[in-house]
């Protein structure tokens, strides 16, 4: 009987040690990735506040946790916007807030549809592009408050900033996962339209497919230019070409 208790006690201690070991291993990966981002404190605080240890042993899991924080930020901002719309009387501010309501809905949708199961070069443009649109949309919202004189200052500046901060973490972790660097995974097509090989600055022979990412404005209201891209039309705000 005494032996059984000792054995039980040993097993329990062992199981406990193993569990701690697993948690530490998971936390190590989390810490290493967070440390390499440009905002270690924010990254760690979000990860540590999340109880789901099973999501803490892969970059995909980290992105999922961060994404959920971004979504809940954006949802909170959406309800702030609804409340502001009930009390705001300035005509211009109301118009801005209506645009912001749409912007934050786009953000939420884009963040929710990001699929982190496979973070790969092949999927980079749609994954990172989709996530980036989430903060582009909130920048649009901020921008509307500066367009017309007489518009009061944006009441959503800190919300814009905090969503941007979390979204940047997701993008940085995607880059770290794909190319082990925070910034710039891919060679960008030079102005002369040559693909430069990053290592020796020589034009790259053949190899690698070229993808162009068009960033279109949130709303399509310009008549001067139309550019088609997967069914979207509008004036191109910016574009970047990646060699993948
Ligand atoms: C929204 O926040 C981002 C991140 O700080 C910033 O770069 C951007 O300029 C802000 N938008 C506006 C219009 O202030
Ligand atoms: C990630 O890499 C892409 C492609 O090279 C780059 O354009 C982007 O700025 C990087 N993202 C961040 C958050 O640095």
Q: Pick the ligand that lies closest to the CA of residue 129.
A: 2
Atom 5, ligand 1: residue with shortest CA distance = 161
Q: Does position 221 have pLDDT exceeding 90, yes or no?
A: no
Q: Calculate how far, in angstroms, residue 208's C-alpha sits from the geometric centre of ligand 2.
A: 18
Instruction: Show the CA angle centred on residue 147, arms to residues 143 and 151, nearest 5°.
Output: 100
Residue 95's pLDDT is: 96
pLDDT for res 97:
97
- Determine the pLDDT at residue 241: 45
- Closest C-alpha to ligand 1, atom 9: 139
- What residues does ligand 2 touch, defined as CB less than 6 Å away? 168, 171-172, 175, 182-186
Residue 46 vs residues 94, 181, 188, 189: alpha-carbon distances, Å: 33, 21, 32, 36
Minimum CA distance residue for ligand 1 atom 14 = 142
Q: Which ligand is nearest to the CA of 96?
A: 1
Domains of the chain with CATH codes: 2-185 (1.20.140.40), 186-244 (no CATH)
Is the pLDDT assigned to residue 209 strictly greater than 60? no
Please, which residues have CB within 8 angstroms of residue 74's CB and are 6 or more apart in sequence? 104, 107, 108, 111, 134, 138, 163
Res 232 pLDDT > 80: no
In this structure, the dihedral spanned by the alpha carbons of residues 120, 133, 116 and 45, taken in order and rounded to 10 degrees, is: 120
Cα 174 to ligand 2 centre (Å): 9
Q: How far is the CA of 99 from the centre of ligand 1 (A)?
A: 16
For residue 67, the CA-to-ligand 2 centroid distance in Å is 17
In angstroms, what is the span from residue 158 Cα to ligand 1's centroid?
Answer: 9
Q: Is 159 near ligand 1, meaning CB less than 6 Å away?
A: no
20/26 Cα distance (integer angstroms):
10
pLDDT-based confidence at residue 183 (cuts at 50, 70, 90): confident
As a whole number of Å, the end-to-end CA separation of the chain is: 65
Ligand nearest to the CA of residue 39, numbered in listed order: 2
Q: Tens digit of pLDDT for each residue in 69-113?
A: 999 999 999 999 999 999 999 999 999 999 999 999 999 999 999
pLDDT of residue 31: 86
- Dist CA 193 CA 41 (whole Å): 40
In the predicted model, is pLDDT for residue 229 greater than 90? no
Q: What is the CA radius of gyration of the chain?
A: 23
Pick from 59-73, 159-173, 225-239: least confident: 225-239
Res. 213: pLDDT tops 60: no
What is the whole-number distance in angstroms between the Cα of residue 18 and the centre of ligand 1? Answer: 45
pLDDT at 163 over 60: yes
Report the nearest-CA residue for atom 3 of ligand 1.
161
Instruction: Give CA–CA dist 49/180, Å, rounded.
Output: 26
- Cα–Cα distance between 164 and 50 in angstroms, integer? 20
pLDDT at 178 over 60: yes
Residue 21 is predicted with a pLDDT of 54
Question: Which residue CA neighbors atom 11 of ligand 1 most closely?
Answer: 139
| CA–CA gap between residue 116 and residue 174 (Å, rounded) | 9
Q: What is the pLDDT of residues 32-68, one digit of tens each?
A: 999 999 999 999 999 999 999 999 989 999 999 999 9
12 or 131, which is more confident? 131
Model confidence at 22, pLDDT cuts 50, 70, 90, reads low
């Amino acid at each position: 009987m005494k032996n059984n208790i000792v054995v039980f006690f040993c097993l329990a201690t062992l199981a406990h040690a193993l569990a701690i070991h697993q948690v530490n291993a998971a936390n190590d990966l989390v810490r290493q990735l967070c440390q390499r981002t440009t905002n270690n404190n924010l990254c760690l605080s979000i990860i540590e506040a999340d109880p789901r240890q099973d999501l803490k042993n892969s970059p995909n899991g980290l992105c999922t946790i961060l994404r959920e924080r971004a979504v809940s930020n954006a949802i909170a901002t959406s309800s702030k916007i609804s409340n502001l719309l009930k009390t705001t009387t300035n005509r211009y501010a109301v118009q801005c807030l209506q645009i912001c309501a749409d912007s934050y809905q786009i953000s939420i949708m884009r963040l929710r549809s990001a699929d982190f199961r496979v973070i790969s070069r092949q999927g980079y443009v749609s994954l990172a592009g989709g996530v980036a649109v989430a903060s582009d949309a909130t920048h649009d919202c901020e921008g509307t408050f500066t367009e017309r004189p007489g518009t009061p200052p944006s009441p959503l500046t800190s919300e814009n900033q905090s969503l941007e901060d979390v979204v940047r973490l997701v993008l940085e972790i995607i880059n770290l996962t794909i190319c082990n660097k925070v910034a710039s995974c891919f060679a960008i097509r030079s102005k002369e339209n040559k693909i430069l090989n990053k290592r020796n600055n020589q034009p790259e022979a053949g190899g690698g497919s070229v993808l162009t990412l068009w960033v279109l404005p949130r709303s399509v209201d310009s008549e001067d230019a139309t550019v088609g891209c997967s069914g979207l039309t509008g004036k191109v705000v910016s574009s970047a070409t990646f060699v993948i």
